[in-house]
């Protein structure tokens, strides 16, 4: 007679092996991880941006009362520096990637560019990972880099005179 099983060990991949460790996986897993990271990053920036701009809005109320918009000009000169512009560059890159990858996801999730059903034969390669959405993913990464270079130019060369 078999022995009754005492305690089974939970073996969920968890946060590290499931979400964070994406580098040994397929390309779409990289895009999934980057989509999550960029989404959370831009989301946090959005909340901070609304709060920061609302503080500076005091300048408009001052101007209506005949005062100088000191709050605004002070804030802008405080924020015009290499550190903050590096952060803005990351936000810009993240926003661009997240939007473009979002378009790719909407298309894939509605059945476009995921290949078509086949009669499986050896070596059983999946059609969804070989369809147009993977090539679109590569294009999106390249486009994000190009727009990141444009953002770098604007933030560092134009604004800071690098």
Partner 1 sequence: MLLQYLTGAGILVLGASHFALLTLIPGGFGSALGFSEVQGVYLAYGLLFELFLTLLSYHVFNGFRKVLVELRQGKTYEMAVTWLVFLGGAATFLWGTRTILIFMGLFH
Partner 2 sequence: MSQDKSEVPVVPLHFDPKIMEGLGKPIRNVGFKVFRYDPAKGEGVRYSEYQVPIFRGTTVLDALLYIKEKLDPSLSIRYSCRMAVCGSCGMVINGKEMLACKTQVENLGGDTVVVRPMNNMPVTRDLVSDFEVFFQKHRSVLPYIVREDVDLNLNREYIQKPEEVIEFLMFSNCIKCGLCYSACPTNAMDESFLGPQAMAQAYRYIADTRDGAQQQRMEVLDASHGLWNCHFAGSCSDVCPKGVDPAFALQELKTLAIRKAGTLKKKRPAPNVAQVREYIPEK
Q: Which residues bind partner 1 (CB under 8 A)?
A: 15, 36, 39-40, 42-43, 46-47, 50-51, 53-54, 57, 59-61, 63-64, 69, 72-73, 76, 92, 95, 99, 102-103, 106, 150-151, 154-155, 158-160
Q: Give the alpha-carbon dihedral of 154, 155, 159, 162, to 10 degrees.
A: -100
Burial environment of residue 4 by CB neighbours within 10 A (0 to 12, 13 to 18, 19 or more): exposed
Choose the contact partner of 159 out of partner 1, partner 2, none; CB within 5 to 8 A by kind. partner 1
Asked if residue 70 lies in contact with residue 59, where contact means CB atoms within 8 angstroms, the answer is: yes
Choose the contact partner of 10 out of partner 2, partner 1, none; CB within 5 to 8 A by kind. partner 2
CA–CA gap between residue 63 and residue 13 (Å, rounded)? 57
Task: Please state the closest distance from residue 107 (CB atom) to partner 1, in A.
Answer: 10
- Site size toward partner 2 (CB under 8 A) is 44
Task: Please state the closest distance from residue 30 (CB atom) to partner 1, in A.
Answer: 18
User: Should residue 65 be labelled a site residue for partner 2 when binding is judged by CB under 8 A?
Assistant: no
Say which residue the tokens 């059945």 belong to. 111
Q: How many CB atoms lie within 10 A of CB 1?
A: 3
Q: In sequence order, which residues have a C-beta less than 8 Å from that of residue 15 and are 6 or more positions away?
A: none
User: Should residue 40 be labelled a site residue for partner 2 when binding is judged by CB under 8 A?
Assistant: no
For partner 2, the binding residues (CB under 8 A) are: 3, 5-15, 17-19, 21-22, 24-29, 32, 35-36, 105, 108-111, 114-115, 117-121, 124-129
């Amino acid at each position: 007679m078999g022995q009754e099983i005492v305690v089974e060990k939970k073996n969920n991949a968890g946060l590290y092996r499931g979400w964070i460790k994406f580098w040994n996986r397929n390309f779409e897993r990289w895009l999934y991880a980057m989509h999550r990271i960029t989404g959370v990053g831009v989301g946090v920036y959005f909340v901070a941006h609304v709060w920061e701009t609302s503080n500076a809005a005091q300048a408009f109320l001052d101007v209506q009362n005949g005062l100088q918009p000191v709050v605004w000009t002070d804030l802008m000169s405080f924020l015009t520096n290499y550190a903050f512009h590096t952060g803005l560059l990351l936000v810009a890159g993240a926003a661009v990637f997240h939007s473009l990858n979002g378009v790719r996801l909407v298309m894939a999730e509605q059945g476009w560019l995921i290949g078509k059903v086949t009669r499986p034969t050896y070596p059983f390669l999946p059609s969804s990972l070989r369809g147009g959405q993977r090539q679109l993913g590569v294009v999106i990464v390249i486009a994000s880099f190009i727009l990141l270079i444009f953002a770098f130019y604007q933030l560092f060369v134009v604004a800071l005179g690098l």
